[in-house]
Amino acid sequence: MPLNLQQVHHIAIICSNYERSKQFYTELLGLTIIQEIYRENRDSYKLDLALNGNYIIELFSFPDPPKRVSKPEAIGLRHLAFAVSDIAKEVQYLEQLRIAVEPIRIDELTNKKFTFFQDPDGLPLEIYEI
């Protein structure tokens, strides 16, 4: 019998520069801060972030974390995707902030538009038009 999963609780992200990533996820992506904790014994911050009132991301800082292998794509988390209603508008916003965005593509299975960009540590982020 399978587990009785109800929903995704959160996504954990480890960043290399806490202040830069905090600004990116809150000011640029618009996530709201639920709580911010400094864990002195680990020399680490833990920032809980929400999207539309739903707890979604734990942003961690650690001293000297190893680099994430991304290209070629490695086993593990491939990307984090966010739903948007107007992908062209969101791409324009990102480009105004000088964030590199891949060309918009069409999902061959759903005929929906999507594209990718990266957070400050190169984590691939997707916006997907619904």
Q: What is the pLDDT of residues 49-77, one digit of tens each?
A: 999 999 999 999 999 888 877 777 777 77
Q: Which residue has the higher pLDDT, 69 or 90?
A: 90
Provide mean pLDDT across the span 88-107.
97
Q: How far apart are CA 114 and CA 59, in angstroms?
A: 24
Contacts of 26 (CB under 8 A, 6+ apart): 32, 33, 49
Q: How far apart are CA 108 and CA 103, in angstroms?
A: 15
Average pLDDT, the chain: 92
Percent of the chain with pLDDT over 70: 98
Q: Which of 60, 24, 68 is CA-nearest to residue 44?
A: 60
Q: How far apart are CA 84 and CA 62, in angstroms?
A: 31
